[in-house]
Structures are given as structure tokens and as C-alpha cells.
Amino acid sequence: MPIFVTPFAELELIRQPEQSHETLQAFDAADEYLLNQFAEQGTGAGLRVLVLNDSFGALACSLAAMKQNRPQILSSSDSHLGHMALQINLQRNQLETDAVDFVTAEQVPQGPFDRVLIRVPKTLALLEEQLIRLHGQLAPGAQVVAAAMVKHLPRAAGDLLEKYIGPVQASLAVKKARLLIATPEQMPQPVSPYPSRYALEKPPISLINHANVFCREGLDIGTRAFLPHLPKHQTPMRVADLGCGNGVLAIAYALGNPDAQMTLVDESYMAVQSARENWLNALGDRPVDIRAGDGLAEQPDESLEMVLCNPPFHQQQVVGDFLAWRMFQQAHAALVTGGELWIVGNRHLGYHQKLKRLFRGVEQVAANPKFVILKAIK
């Protein structure tokens, strides 16, 4: 296993979800560059450090491993899997699990902070919301440094830092990574454009979408294709919306199935926050279980009659069907015999054949030139 070497420690780090024969590392050159720059700036006692979007805990674990003048470390991200990875990697390297405080992305980290270390996220709206929330949370003389691999660093990231923090200096590229170093200036209190909202005609609901929600400006085309084909049941069904996003699939199904017992789960804290608010707006105090989690990993076996899913095909910048395959496996375990997994997917992804490896029956419910809606029966 590759070892992450920094001025503070040599660490053995793993990604989440853990996979056998993993070929991807839990760190990259941007993490290394950011920590090297931090070390060069000095690490005097009493520093308060905020780490944002630390994918698998490489940054926070390295700071937690400091032998002298260890700072107070607060880590915040929108990923439940990232939070899991941080806890697992602290334990894996015999570091104190309480050495890092974690704040989920729907909360505002409470400063003042002397240093802010940011991994530039894929969704720039998340970065914008995080920078807005830093207003009033920076100590005098604070420094804000963002890092990314050059191929994943859009010009707009620097523009956002300059807009909400202050003048930005871009570093030279090292190992194909770059830093954006912002010097805080006095700024007027910014007004956040998040959450955003949009309305559907059928069902007639309005949807709230926090900054990191997929397709927050309008319904994604896969879900739009799925909604007209959601099944209707008159009996009390136990149903999960796996990877629920803003909750639209579950809400639409629940509106047509008044006795359904619904579970909504997503690994994004902002998605879960959006789903909770949307459920309340559409269905009031109707009982529901909405939670951040590692898919259906915590769901008891054979506890559901149906799972609805619009599976993702990427984790951060990494594209692939490994998350979807894992979701299918989790759904299979959670369903009773005869239970059904309903999914929408791009035609080219070949989910039909993959589902046949797990389920005894797979049917195509509907299709258009881009998407297929499939029903898999356990």
C-alpha cells in the first residue's frame, strides 16, 4: 500500500468505500503540496486550522500526527464517506480519534481560524457556499489556501476566492498540482445564492436544493424520465430511495402511495438536508426516515419491499460504475425475496446485464433514446 509522506508523518491511508484490489490512492500531489506549504509557513502553538473537503482524511490525519505544536483541527465536508474515511484512517495510524473535530457541510464551522486549507471540490457551488460562510470566521493575519490537481482546477475557483476572501496568488505547478493562496481583506457581508429552488408541475411540488445537490437548478433528465413510471401500490410498502439527492423520487412515490413507509438515504449531508426540507414542505409531519449514510450498508437485511435508485457514475473526479454496483448489492441484501429494485440509467452503462448477475429477473419498464428504466426482482 502506498505511504503518504509529509513533513508531519508517514501515513497508511485507505479510501472509502473500501474495495478489494483498489488501484486508486487516498491522497494525491495536491494534498502533499498543501501540507508542505503549511509546514513552510510555520506551525506555532495554538493555531486553529479549518480543513475543507478532505476527501479521505489525508490532510487532517497528517496534521493530527504532528508531534509538537499540534493545531486545533476542524474538518468539514459534504461527504459521509469522507467522514468515515477520516475516522478509519485516524484509527489505522494509531492517532487520537478526538484530535480532529468534524462538522457536516450543512453547519457553519465556528472560528476564528488562523489557517484554512481547502481541497477545491468538483461542485464550485459548494466552494462558493463554504467561502461565504468564512465571513467573520477568520482570525487577524489568517491565510486561506486552496489546492487541486491542475486538470481539475477551473479558473472560476480563483475568481471565487478573490470575490469572497481577497487577493489571490497562484503558485507554480508542482507534480501537476497547484495552490491558490488568498490574503483575506475586509469584505461586506455576502448574501448566499443558496439554497436554490425550482418547481415541478407533476407532481406539483417546489424543491429546495442546497449548494452541493446534483442538478440543483432543475430536475435532472434521468429523474425526469423516471418519474412518470414510478409504480403505485395500495398496500403498505417499505421503500427506500437510495442516493436520494433532494428527495424528489421518494416524495413523488409517497404522494401516490399514502401508506408507504419511506427511507431516504444519501452520502451527501447537503442532499439529506434538502430532502428533509422538501419532505416537510410536500408531506408535512408524515413519518419518514431520512439519513446520511453509506448507502444501505446500515439497513437490516430483508427489510424492504422496494428500492428506488438513480445511481451516480462518479465519486468526486473518478468516473466509473463501482458505486452503482455497490448500491445494487446493498439493495439486493436489503430486499425481501420478491422485492424490487427500480433504477434509471444511461443506456450505454449496461445496467441490465449487471443486474442479471444479482437478481433472478430483470425487466425493462420504459426507455427513451438516452435512458432505460429497469425493474430487478430478487
pLDDT along the chain (378 residues), means of 10: 89 88 87 96 85 97 91 96 96 94 95 96 96 96 96 95 97 97 95 95 95 90 93 92 96 96 97 98 97 95 97 56 87 97 90 92 92 96
**In this structure, are residues 64 and 72 in contact, taking their beta carbons and an 8 Å threshold?**
no
Domains of the chain: 3-182 (3.40.50.150), 196-377 (3.40.50.150)
Residue 54: strand, helix, or coil: coil
For 142-158, b where at least 16 C-beta lie within 10 A, e where not — what string? bbbbbbbbeebbeeebb
Q: Kind of pairing, strands 196-199 and 238-242?
A: unpaired
Task: From 245, 211, 208, select the one nearest 227 (Cα to Cα).
Answer: 245
Q: Which residues have a Cβ under 8 Å from the Cβ of 364 and sit 6 or more positions away?
A: 352, 372, 373, 374
Per-residue DSSP letter, 109: P
CA dist 219 → 26, 200, 205, 212, 227 (Å):
32, 8, 12, 14, 10
Query: What does the pLDDT read at residue 18?
Result: 82
Query: What does the pLDDT read at residue 43?
Result: 75
Task: From 331, 149, 164, 182, select the one nearest 243 (Cα to Cα).
Answer: 331
Q: What is the pLDDT of residues 200-221, one digit of tens each?
A: 999 999 999 999 998 888 899 9
Query: What does the pLDDT read at residue 234?
Result: 82
Query: What does the pLDDT read at residue 313?
Result: 63
CA count, 13 A, side-chain hemisphere, 239: 29
Peptide bond into 112 cis (omega under 30): yes
Place of cell 401500490: 233
Q: What is the pLDDT of residues 30-53, one digit of tens each?
A: 999 999 999 998 777 789 999 999
Average pLDDT over the chain, rounded to an integer: 93
**In this structure, are residues 371 and 345 in contact, taking their beta carbons and an 8 Å threshold?**
yes
What cell was used for 24?
486508486
